Structure 1
């Protein structure tokens, strides 16, 4: 599987095992492998596919 962990640029973990990320402007909708969902506001600034990390600057 290709899950990733979503972090804020401050280093706080927002969601582990994210499998779906939908972006609509600054609205980011996250879902994990268990179906948990979270909506955040911000901008994705980095995606590290090697380390399975996604970094978001929160608004």
Structure 2
């Protein structure tokens, strides 16, 4: 499988084993392999396909 781990730009892990990311403006919805959801506000700034890492700058 091709799960990814999502991190903040501060390198804090937000969610592991993410399979789906839905983006609507600044709203980001993450869904993992078990169907758990997490909603965030921010901007994706980097996607590292080699290391399966996604980095989000969170809105404060």
Q: Aligned-pair distance for 1:27? A: 0.1
Mapped partners of 1:41, 1:54: distance in 2: 15
Structure 2 counterpart of 1:39: 39
For structure 2, list consecutive stretches of 5 or more residues without a partner in the other structure. none
After TM superposition, what 4+ stretches of structure 1 lie above 6 angstroms from structure 2?
none
Structure 2 counterpart of 1:56: 56
Question: Aligned pairs, how many?
Answer: 59
2:35 is paired with a residue of what secondary structure? coil
Mapped partners of 2:4, 2:31: distance in 1: 11
Mapped partners of 1:5, 1:29: distance in 2: 14
CA RMSD, 1 decimal = 0.3
Residue pairs, 1:1-59, within 5 angstroms: 1-59=1-59
For structure 1, list consecutive stretches of 5 or more residues without a partner in the other structure. none
